[in-house]
Amino acid sequence: MDRKLLDLLVCPASRQPLALLGKAGLAALNSAANAGTLRRVDDAPQAGPLREALVTHDHRLVYRIDDGIPVLLVEEGIPTGQIADFPRS
């Protein structure tokens, strides 16, 4: 993802800055997705693993990146509280 674009992006719900999610966070999300337990804000299941994602400053909400395009729709955000081993920093 382009660094200039990343510097401009904020969470549409909380207005917190967003950062690229690290490997440990992606692994935790994908483990839950593969188990079929990962739910989005709209309570729909997250279909399939994530290749890239953005996370809010407080690490409470994740937005997926599809083919290099951030999906910044609040209802498609993924709350991290549902994942016990999600890294909080």
pLDDT score of 89: 74
pLDDT digits (tens, 9 = 90+) for 61-72: 999 999 999 999
85 closest CA partner among 45, 44, 30, 41:
30
Domain ranges of the chain: 3-82
Q: What share of the chain is helix, strand, coil (3-state, %, to 5)?
A: 30, 25, 45
pLDDT digits (tens, 9 = 90+) for 22-57: 999 999 999 999 999 999 999 999 988 999 999 999
**pTM surpassing 0.75?**
yes
Q: Is the pLDDT of residue 2 over 90?
A: no
pLDDT score of 1: 62
